[in-house]
Structure 1
Amino acid sequence: MTVLKNLHQELSRFRFRVLAAAGFVLFCFALLAARLVFLQVVQHDTLLERAESNRVTVVPIVPNRGLIKDRNGIVLASNYSAYTLEITPSKVLNLDETIDALAGVVEIQGRDRRRFKRLMEESKNFESLPIRTKLTDTEVARFAAQRFRFPGVEIKARLFRNYPMGQVGAHLLGYIGRINQAEKKAMEDWPEEELSNYRGTEYIGKLGLEQAYEKELHGSTGFEEMETSAGGRAVRRLAHQPPTPGNTLMLSIDIRLQALVEELYKDRRGALVAIDPRSGEVLAFVSKPTFDPNLFVDGIDADSWRELNEDIDKPLLNRALRGTYPPGSTFKPFMAMAALNSGKRGPSVIVQDNLTYSFGGRTFGSPETDRPGPKDMRLAIVSSSNVYFYSLANEMGVDLIHDQLEPFGLGRKTEIDVQGEVTGVLPSQDWKRRYFAKSPANQKWFPGETISLGIGQGYNNFTMLQMATAVSTLATGGQRYKPRLVREIEDVVRHEKRRIASDALEPLPLKPEHVEVIVNAMNGVTIEGTSRAAFLGAAYRSGGKTGTAQAIGLKAGEKYSAIKADEHKRDHSLYIAFAPVEAPTIALAVIVENAGFGSTSAAPIARRVFDYVLTGQYPSEEDIALTQQGKTTAPVGQPRPVAQVPLPGAVPAAASAAASGASR
């Protein structure tokens, strides 16, 4: 009985164990089934998306950047393709050793290493950075044969920007450059749609029109959906959306005229802005000295940057947009118009000019070339009388001068379609209080400070863009436009052109008889006044005004000697002008820094600009050489038809890239 009882207990325990094991197995299967339902049903959409993302790679396709052309269709900015050797620092164990080894395969110079180091400081560790750009076909083949030695290093085909005119028009065109960390952070605030359009984009407009019209020039990014293997290799293309190229900018600039003016300056410093007063279109926008924007496209090297940045002549400064200067005697026609418009002085009022004007115990003088005698408004402008305008400034006062001339665009931004413009200074009592807010002792305006304003000195400081806009308004009897560098934008896909009209501002209420007085006087300057020699024999009638402005202030009683003065402290040479007198089609302002009298350096440049625009004449080589030295008045030699003069400085993109590769 005992044996049977034990057997029965063993069977019971066995059955329990079998049932427990079966229950456990069933429980496990239930868990698996529940997990399967969860994955296949509940998480289906999420896991499908993850699986697709592992299997499918979306590769952005960067669009071709839009072209920039001048008013005659000459290409000023284009694109070309070249190979770059790039390193992803996060994938390289020893960066220095890798670069040293690469230098045995392709040439890597010291400046390449310094540029790569700077790019690393500005970028994230996982980004692909160029160590060499514009590789030759031989260098590409040499690296491809030894690629297995360099994990984290690869050859990429990149689009590069090319500025075929080199230094010509650099300040207005600007340049593109690699997007830095500060710009990336700023881009995070962009709308998602706009930000997504920059996926894969590594370059952006940094200056000039490249920056101002970035969204027009960039285009729309395309994409490729590629099926990949487990190893990440592309298997086949699933979908494709081609990129849309950027739009083409058609400028109002005549690049031949731009190149001529820059050539006339040669090594001298200064700025010239020429405007069509009928529309506000800018015909020339010159700042000298200039620079080659091609240096910045793939990252400027430290030596070139130091050379540009430390140059005493400041080639990176856009003098047309950001250089402010006292206008000197070019301010006098505006003072005369302010007197007429405010009723402070009529055109026939005579002032006895004895060459000196005393006020507050101080004597204000006149240039040695001036002549004494009675002068009305016309003669005061033609002969550039200082005494006439000293007394006028005293009668008007600083605030009335400000209120009358501010509408001409002096002392405020013109809102031209490029960034970085400065306001300049058209002083007033309120301006001085604000300017010296931290120095209460200097906030008061003294009557003696008003006197020098009448001849364009004192606190007066304007850009040549402001002066050109102001003389344009004066010559047209009050018509005002916002100046514009871009006249059309062309959609290269739809082949549609969109006109960019300059915004017409409310005209100034100038009386025609007052305008006639000033225009007649400025025409007299070119016939019997200070610019008569420069405009001798011109085939058109123009109006102008010379100016000679102090680059530095002189103490009371201190004599100025141009011969002894340091070159950078000598007087500036200025000229403002418009032509033809009957119906102006061009107005300009020009300054040649530290070049002395306006009649000797600035006015001759203006004459050659007018000859180019109004008569289609290009100066002779002899005339250009003499004008560069400030030794001409009217043109010399045989002028040439503009169409027959080859465009200087143009270098095809392919040749530029080849030369860059060969130089290594």
Structure 2
Amino acid sequence: MSEPSIFFSEVNERQGVFTRRAFLMGGLTGLGLVALGGQLVHLQLVEANRYAKLAESNKFNFRLVPPPRGLILDRNGVTLASNRPNFRLLVARDGGMDVETTVAELSNLVPIDDKRRIRLVKDIKRAPKRSPVSVMEDMTWEEFSRVNVRAPELPGVTADMGEVRVYPHGGAFAHVIGYVAKVNDKDVKAAGANPDPLLYNPGFRIGRQGIEKAFDLQLRGKPGAQKQEVDAKGRVVRQDPRGDIAPTPGKEIRLTIDVDVQERALEVFGEQSGAAVVMDCRTGDLLCLLSAPSFDANRFVRGLTVPEYKALNEYERRPLLDKALSGTYPPGSTFKTMVALAALESGMITPQDRYVCGGAWWFGGRYFHCWKKDGHGAQNMHDAIKNSCDIYFYQVALKIGPDRIASVAGPFGIGQTFDIGITGQMAGTLPSTDWVKKHRPSDPKWYPGESPSYGIGQGLLNVNPLQLCVMTARLANGRKALNPRLVKSIGGVEQPRGSEAPDLPFSPEHIAIVREGMAAVANDVSGGAYRQSQLGLGPIKMAGKTGTAQVRSYDKVASRKSSSVGWKLKDHNWFVAFAPYDNPRYALSLLVEHGGGSGATEAAPRAREIMRTVLLKDPELRSLIEQPMPMPDVDPGADTEGAAPDLPDAAPPPPPGAPT
């Protein structure tokens, strides 16, 4: 048997391979250790501060704090919209939270009905993790205390104090100021790709109508932050007030509205429906912009129930509609001022031209009636405005045509919308031959029979109360095409005045003739609204024009009276006015929607009371009213009852028994 042979070359070869692999692995290991050590050095020395800050940020969170919403004030600084403390209950969903159990336990502490409980469970589950959901607003102190005592046993539940919007004057300013409400999905989508984080805060409210909506960004302010120490699960351990960032309050907005005038206007309407607008004839400032009936904006802040909203929405007098801006109506005889001015400007009619009113006028195969059945007799322009003679204006409108009327009424504000800061204005219609071609393509011709109705403010014509007030203010000013101004200042910055406007392109003499007719309406004993227009303010008098606009056809109707018809079939009643008539300062338009009477009986008395309030608040005019009356002439020799007796003089005593 042969012995095994040893091949030293194979051993040496295997040993060499092992040595090379050992060196390779050792080298790779060394490189790894060097890289690891370098990274450790980099992290602990170079990046130490950065990671220390990151660790600190994990330890603390910042909770967004909504800023106080900006105040809204009237022209004299009276608060129209402010904020008040609000105890609220919030729930933020945590990882291990049993939402149904948490809401059930909360219902034992605060009143939550079954429907509300179901909706809360859905809202909390749908909300992002640790994003607070509002469970209850305006808790009482007792409810707030109960929740805080149990808060340690209810993870994710917080009872804190925020702010809620409040409107001290209720419904008087609901349409002008609007209201705020909770943010919904539409608001978030409308904000774009990067919405304001405030929109996700449960305490934040967004403007919905009026000033609140139009100037939401200015009123919103800038949010602050509250520094909180949290644990590894993100739960708040303690507050750190030293790191809080104070919010910046929203800007203060001051309106031109006068709170006393606005509240008086709402008061005089009572149960009636309509609108009132008051404008300064010198500056264009709006002192009153009222729509009646109104609603309490505070109820919208808290959130209306479905039955409450349904009741408001379905009420026939439409409290949710801003009738001063969004309601359009035939202006009736108030528009005769524009027809008269258009006639004078055309040169086709002089102030002395007369038309005979016999109560009815035959044209186009039918009778056009005057409001006075037995007629007014021969009427010139002054008498026709004073008496509101329909027959006169039928014939004048037919003679001058619709285009001349529209060319005058347009520059006086009819058919226009105005930049007053808030939306919702309806332009109405100011018809002309071009308007008919554009808006009535199936029948684009203007028929002569349409002109008489146009002349008395009926037919296709529709206006809103703001337009009629602007028309009256421009007539009263006589020179400037004043623009209305609602917002006086934003954050202390004065807004452009309405008097910064071009001149009216009409003859001042012609405007004066129309104004004199309006003065006769209110101050001539035979004027259409003499009794209803007496202010009782000494030398201060008012000029005005009544209007009654029908909303139904009187063809084959036995009686034009509205007492026997439903509310929606009653006539609208108007009154426009300015005062003092010899030195105009304030203009007014007032609509009683479906008032059923006449402009003189329904609208003028209400307008008078509003105008009295405006004039009595003007210090300069009040000084005229309060001047002492001149002393009466007295005969110095006459005996005066109550005069002081003569001084006693020396005399002998009377005899005994004589009377003393």
TM over 0.5: yes
Gaps of 5+ in 1: 492-496, 618-639, 642-664
Q: Which amino acid aligns with 1:580?
A: P
Task: Report the AA paired with residue 217 of structure 1.
Answer: L
Asked if 1:518 corresponds to 2:517, the answer is no
Residue 280 to residue 123, structure 1, CA distance change in 2 (3 Å): farther
- 8 Å CA contact 2:74, 2:258 repeated in 1: yes
Q: Is the alpha carbon distance of 1:100 and 1:55 closer, same or farther for their aligned partners in structure 2, counting shifts above 3 Å?
A: closer
Preserved CA contact (<8 Å) 1:228 1:236: no
**Rounded Cα–Cα distance in structure 2 between residues aligned with 1:36 and 1:367:** 100
Distance 1:223 1:109, change over 3 A: same
Cα separation, 1, equivalents of 2:127 and 2:572: 44
| Distance of 1:149 and 1:326 partners within structure 2 | 66
Instruction: Work out which of the residue numbers 255, 259, 262 in structure 2 matches 1:255.
Output: 259
- Distance in 2 (alpha carbons) for counterparts of 1:123 and 1:401: 60
Residue of structure 1 in register with 2:528 after alignment: 530
Q: Kindly state the Cα deviation for residue 486 of structure 1 after the two structures are TM-superposed.
A: 2.3
Greater mean deviation of Cα atoms: 600-609 or 100-109:
100-109
- 1:175–1:210: 8 Å Cα contact kept in structure 2? yes
Name the CA distance, whole Å, in 2 between partners of 1:118 and 1:329.
58
Equivalent residue number for residue 323 of structure 2: 319
Q: 1:359 aligns with which of 357, 363, 372?
A: 363
Written as runs of structure 1 = structure 2, the 5 A alignment for 1:43-442 is 53-88=57-92, 95=99, 98-109=102-113, 127-148=131-152, 150-188=154-192, 195=196, 200=201, 202-224=204-226, 228-232=230-234, 233=236, 236=240, 239-368=243-372, 371-436=375-440, 440-442=441-443
* Greater RCO, 1 or 2 (C-alpha within 8 Å, sep 6+): 1
More off after superposition, 542-551 vs 426-435: 426-435
Change (3 A) 1:118 1:275: farther
Q: TM-score, normalised by structure 1?
A: 0.83
**Distance in structure 1 (CA, Å) of the matches to 2:558 and 2:616:** 45
* Structure-2 change in CA distance of 1:32 and 1:123 (3 Å): closer
Cα distance in structure 1, aligned partners of 2:335 and 2:18: 116
- Which residue of the partner structure matches residue 590 of structure 1? 590
1:549 alignment counterpart: 549
Distance 1:29 1:591, change over 3 A: same
Cα distance per residue 1:141-186 (max 9 Å; x no partner): 2122333554443223221011111122211111111222222222
**Counterparts in 2 of 1:283 and 1:370: CA distance versus 1, 3 Å:** farther
CA displacement at 1:367 relative to structure 2? 1.6
Q: Which amino acid aligns with 1:544?
A: G
Using the size of structure 2 for normalisation, the TM-score is: 0.83
Cα distance in 2, alignment partners of residues 407 and 475 from structure 1? 14
Checking the alignment, whether the CA contact within 8 Å between 2:535 and 2:612 is kept in structure 1 is no
Counterpart residue identity of residue 529, structure 2: S
| SS, match of residue 545 in structure 1 | strand
Single out whichever of 570-579 and 242-251 deviates more from structure 2. 242-251
- Unaligned runs of at least 5 residues, structure 2: 619-624, 627-660
Give the counterpart letter for 1:609 in structure 2. I
User: How far off is 1:387 after superposition?
Assistant: 0.7
Tell me what 1:455 maps to.
Answer: 456
Instruction: Kindly provide the amino acid, as one letter, of the partner of residue 161 in structure 1.
Output: R
Identity level (%)? 33
Q: How far apart are residue 3 of structure 1 and its match?
A: 8.5
Task: Out of 339-348 and 41-50, give the one that drifted further.
Answer: 41-50
Q: Distance in 1 between matches of 2:121 and 2:397?
A: 58
Residue 606 of structure 1 aligns with which residue? 607
Classify the secondary structure of the residue corresponding to 1:613: helix
8 A contact 1:70–1:255 mirrored in 2 = yes
Name the CA shift for 1:111/1:389 in 2 (closer, same or farther; >3 Å). farther
CA deviation profile, 1:21-55 (whole Å, cap 9, x unmatched): 53453243255357658878999999788656534
Cα distance, 1:449 vs. partner? 1.6
Give the equivalent residue in structure 1 for 2:500: 504
**Deviates further, 341-350 or 52-61:** 52-61
1:79–1:162 contact (8 Å) kept in structure 2 = yes
Larger mean CA deviation between 60-69 and 150-159 belongs to 150-159
AA paired with 1:442? Answer: D
1:30/1:452 Cα in 2 relative to 1: closer, same or farther (>3 Å)?
A: same
In the alignment, the residues of structure 1 paired with residue 168 and residue 308 of structure 2 have an alpha-carbon distance, to the nearest angstrom, of: 19
The alpha-carbon distance between structure 1 residues 594 and 352, as it changes in their structure 2 partners (threshold 3 A), is: same
Give yes or no for contact 1:115–1:299 (8 Å, CA) kept in 2.
Answer: no
| Change in 2 beyond 3 A, CA 1:94/1:408 | farther
Quickly say closer, same or farther: Cα 1:59–1:148, change in 2 above 3 A.
Answer: closer
Match of 1:621 in 2: none
Counterpart position of 1:661? none
Q: Which residue of 2 aligns with 1:560?
A: 560
Q: For the structure 1 residues 476 and 381, does the alpha-carbon distance in structure 2 shift closer, same or farther, using more than 3 Å as the test?
A: same
8 A contact 1:92–1:152 mirrored in 2: no
1:487-527 deviation line (CA, Å, top 9, x unaligned): 23455xxxxx6455335221113322212211111111112
Number of residue equivalences? 608
The alpha carbon displacement at 1:413 in A equals: 0.4
Q: Does residue 576 of the first structure (1) align with residue 565 of the second (2)?
A: no
Number of the residue aligned with 1:464: 465
Asked whether the 8 Å contact 2:88–2:139 carries over to 1, the reply is yes
Residue aligned with 2:138, SS: strand
1:215 Cα deviation after fit: 3.0
CA contact (8 A) 2:66 2:204 kept: no
Structure 2: how far apart are the matches of 1:415 and 1:116?
42
Does the 8 A contact of 1:549 with 1:573 survive in 2?
Answer: yes
Q: Is the 1:198–1:221 contact (alpha carbons within 8 Å) kept by the matching residues of 2? A: no
